[in-house]
Amino acid sequence: MDLFNLRKFLQKKDTIKLIDTLTDSLGISVCIADSTDTVIYGADIRNHSGLPVTVNDTAVGWVYGQDTGKKAAIVSLLHHMVKTEIERKALATETLDKYNEITMLYDFVEKVNTFNVKEIANFLINQILEQIRADNVLVILKNEISGKLEIAAEYGTNCGTSRELPQETGLVCDVMLSGKAAIINDCRSDSSCVLGADNVNSMICAPLKAKEKTLGVVTASTSESYNYCADDLRFFCTLVSQAAFAIDNARLYESLKGAFIKTVHTLAETIEQRDPYTGGHTKRVMSYCIAIAETLGLSPKERERLELASVLHDIGKIGVSDNVLRKTSKLTDEEFEEIKTHPASGKQILSYIEELKDIIPGVKSHHERFDGKGYPEGLIGTDIDLIARIIAVADSFDAMTSDRPYRKGLPFEVAIDELRKCSGTQFDADVVEAFFKACDENKIKPAESGK
């Protein structure tokens, strides 16, 4: 199999146009042959000497012509174009590999609990209070990094989180180490009951065990005299055991979610590296979006959708050619039309990943205008997804305040004035107002370039 299909590459109009222009300017006639020495460009003049077009020291084609020096210029052009095309395809392959990794992560994440640890701990406390006599309840977890015991959730007047938990002695540590539940019905006379002994009369304690791991312990106690019995212990242990598996799953979910988010950010940074003039753009847009979301009071689920969409809003630029993306001067109308394809390309790319389909509206429509004069569909007003309307403001603000090769970024206040002028026309007025409020609350600050 050929390392590179030169025949297919030379079927592109832009490629042919470049070669035609160069041969005309050099005043030379050449023919180009593929790796099998079959002519794929120009008249057959293979009776003249040929120079190879190589990839990794392997010839993928030949250039034939009379003038060796001018012929070498054609070879040099082809070599550069082939190298660029190979790099572009390699980036596309890397991107698809990362997409597959994201899909795998989400398929697995769907099978575990989506509650966070704090919610599970508080839910457990509520269940214990409904079923068992208790004035105080503590959910204590072992920190996965430091190994120290820490309070995850609590209930009761004797459960101040400011005090130090015993790390080596006492009932909590004994239960943690042994993995066995225990009852103490006279804490004031039992030296092992060091946790709140002055204010606690009876205590029941059980380990949070899941998959042969002890994640922590849960204690329930009374201030007045009370005798916990075997039935109390059995029911208490049942509740704690169920919570342990949920906490273990939640920790796994949080770990996988963190890996997924990291993968998404890495993917965005990989694509952003193609355009050296937009360094940090994705992170800034995400930061602005999060600030707007907080001001608007979006739900946690919508904030997560916004965060992912803001990170991947320019994913479609993978389909834009490097010479357009890296251009240091103003784009021509034709080049701008190519840039305008990236929202639709982003939609197409994300449509292959089931778990990311809900962010497609935000990615696809972030260049729509509130007055209907945007692209790619010319949507109007609230027909544009809210996530897209938020990204539109954040993206435009960063574009205005960031330096470009052909201009300096606008000062912060000037960019603010531009948003104000375009509020209700280009941008959703409510989103712009939320942006201004976030600025007033110091959630959005001037960037280094556009102060």
Is the peptide bond prior to 376 cis by the omega test (within 30 degrees of 0)? yes
pLDDT tens readout for residues 305-346: 999 999 999 888 888 887 887 777 888 899 889 989 999 998
Q: Please, are residues 153 and 220 in contact by the beta-carbon 8 Å criterion? A: no
What pLDDT is recorded for position 359? 93
pLDDT tens readout for residues 414-427: 999 999 999 999 99
pLDDT tens readout for residues 247-284: 888 887 777 677 777 777 777 777 766 665 556 888 89
**Joined tokens for residue 172:** 């909590």
**Joined tokens for residue 181:** 């539940």
What pLDDT is recorded for position 86? 85
Is 135's pLDDT higher than 80?
A: yes
Is 180's pLDDT higher than 80?
A: yes
C-alpha span between 342 and 315 (Å, rounded): 7
What pLDDT is recorded for position 266? 74
Tell me the three state secondary structure of residue 202: strand
C-alpha span between 273 and 111 (Å, rounded): 34
pLDDT tens readout for residues 221-243: 888 888 898 888 888 888 888 88
- % residues pLDDT > 90 (the chain): 33
Q: Please, are residues 26 and 70 in contact by the beta-carbon 8 Å criterion? A: yes
The pTM assigned to this predicted structure is 0.52
Tell me the three state secondary structure of residue 35: coil
CA distances from 401 to 48, 285, 413, 449 (A): 56, 12, 10, 7
Q: Please, are residues 171 and 184 in contact by the beta-carbon 8 Å criterion? A: yes
With a CB cutoff of 8 Å and minimum separation 6, the contacts of 369 are 392, 425, 426, 427
Q: Please, are residues 314 and 280 in contact by the beta-carbon 8 Å criterion? A: no
pLDDT tens readout for residues 184-203: 888 777 666 655 546 778 88
pLDDT tens readout for residues 52-78: 998 888 888 999 998 888 889 989 989
pLDDT tens readout for residues 391-406: 999 999 999 998 877 6
C-alpha span between 388 and 376 (Å, rounded): 12
What pLDDT is recorded for position 394? 96
Domains and CATH numbers, the chain: 6-94 (3.30.450), 117-252 (3.30.450.40), 273-440 (1.10.3210.10)
